[in-house]
């Protein structure tokens, strides 16, 4: 299933996984709130978010000078099930 490769590649990065987990728990959030607690620049966070948007995991909308990010509704339930599966002890 080659079309799934970019999706899983996007989730394979620990920063992007943390962003997705945060949006699942607290979203929607502006870029600057997503940056909190991460040792990355705003530009680095934005690059990760744009990649997630390209593969269809998140959506954004402009709010003032920032963007607000949220999980794309079609993926929200699927990602939650995946997160629970990954977080379960073996």
Predicted TM-score of the model (pTM): 0.78
* Structure tokens given for 28: 């929607």
Contacts 24+ apart (CB under 8 A), 46-54: 48/13, 48/15, 48/16, 48/19, 49/19, 51/10, 51/16, 52/10, 52/16, 52/19, 52/20, 54/6
* Domains located in the chain, CATH noted: 2-87 (1.10.10.10)
| Inter-residue contact 59 to 65 (CB < 8 Å) | no
CA dihedral 61, 42, 40, 52 (to 10 degrees): 30
Q: What is the pLDDT along the chain (90 residues), one digit of tens a residue?
A: 456 788 888 889 999 999 999 998 998 999 999 999 899 999 999 999 999 999 889 999 999 988 999 998 777 677 677 778 888 776
* Structure tokens given for 15: 């920063």
Q: Please tell me the predicted confidence (pLDDT) of residue 5.
A: 81
Q: Please tell me the predicted confidence (pLDDT) of residue 1.
A: 46
Q: Please tell me the predicted confidence (pLDDT) of residue 17.
A: 93
């Amino acid at each position: 299933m080659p079309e799934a490769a970019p999706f899983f590649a996007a989730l394979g990065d620990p920063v992007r996984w943390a962003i997705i987990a945060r949006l699942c728990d607290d979203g929607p959030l502006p870029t600057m709130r997503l940056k909190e607690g991460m040792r990355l620049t705003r530009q680095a966070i934005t690059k990760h978010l744009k990649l997630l948007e390209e593969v269809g995991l998140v959506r954004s909308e402009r709010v003032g000078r920032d963007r607000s990010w949220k999980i794309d509704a079609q993926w929200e339930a699927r990602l939650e099930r995946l997160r629970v599966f990954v977080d379960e002890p073996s």
